[in-house]
Amino acid sequence: MSPLQNEIDVDQLSALQNGDENALQYFFNLYYSTLVYFSFDITKDQAVAEEIASDAFLKLWNKRSHFFKVNSLKAYLYRVVKNASIDFIRNTKVVYKNEQSYHYFVDTTEKAIEEKMIASETYAMILAVIETMPAGYQRVCRGIFLEGKTYEELAAELNITNVNIRNQKFKAILFLRKRIPLTILIPLFFT
């Protein structure tokens, strides 16, 4: 984080403590998508993940005077989202559709939670880079990597050829590789 960004965050934290709703919006914009991804990784339900992340900001607002460091605010948001996500699984008695979801529920150690937080922040970083891509690359990246569509499905949806989809995917990967270390991209997109 740059010193300027850190200074902005500290100023926004001070404004939040003083009841400034714009400061709450600032932190919402900063952390919401990451928290949704984090919750979704646990609940496997997008609507629930969005609701849990939104509720975390309501709780933050109610406790805004308790935070004196941005890192403690961020840790609080992650803890609230983690607990609410696990409560959702417990309270709804979700039938585990895959083993990975079950193992996450069972293994709620600090290390596992920390790994999920890092994955969520990495995902947010990748989304931010995808947002800077040309529109065609964005559509292909989102369709193939984030929505899991096949070349054929995406080609039909965008009314272009499979070859065009493959070319745009290749160029999108090159775009990502220039901006994000390969050690981050390989496990996310190719496993």
Q: What is the pLDDT of residue 1?
A: 47
Q: What is the per-residue pLDDT for 108?
A: 53
Please state the rounded mean pLDDT for residues 4-30. 85
**Domain positions in the chain:** 1-108, 132-191
Percentage of residues in the chain with pLDDT exceeding 70? 81
How much is the average pLDDT of 140-168?
88
Mean pLDDT of 6-12: 80
Packing angle of the helix pair 110-131, 182-189 (nearest 10 deg): 100
Rounded-to-integer distance, Cα 53 and Cα 21, Å = 17
| Residue pLDDT, tens place only, 43-81 | 888 899 999 999 999 999 999 888 888 888 888 999 999
Decide which of 3.20.20.70, 1.10.1740.10, 3.30.70.1560, 3.20.20.140 is the CATH code for 1-108. 1.10.1740.10
Among 1.10.10, 1.10.8, 1.20.81, 1.10.3470, name the CATH number for the domain at 132-191: 1.10.10
Q: Is the model's pLDDT at 191 over the cut of 80? A: no
Residue 4 has pLDDT above 90, yes or no: no
Cα–Cα–Cα angle for 126, 25, 117, rounded to 5 degrees: 40
Strand ranges, E, within 134-184: none
The total number of residues written for the chain in this structure = 191
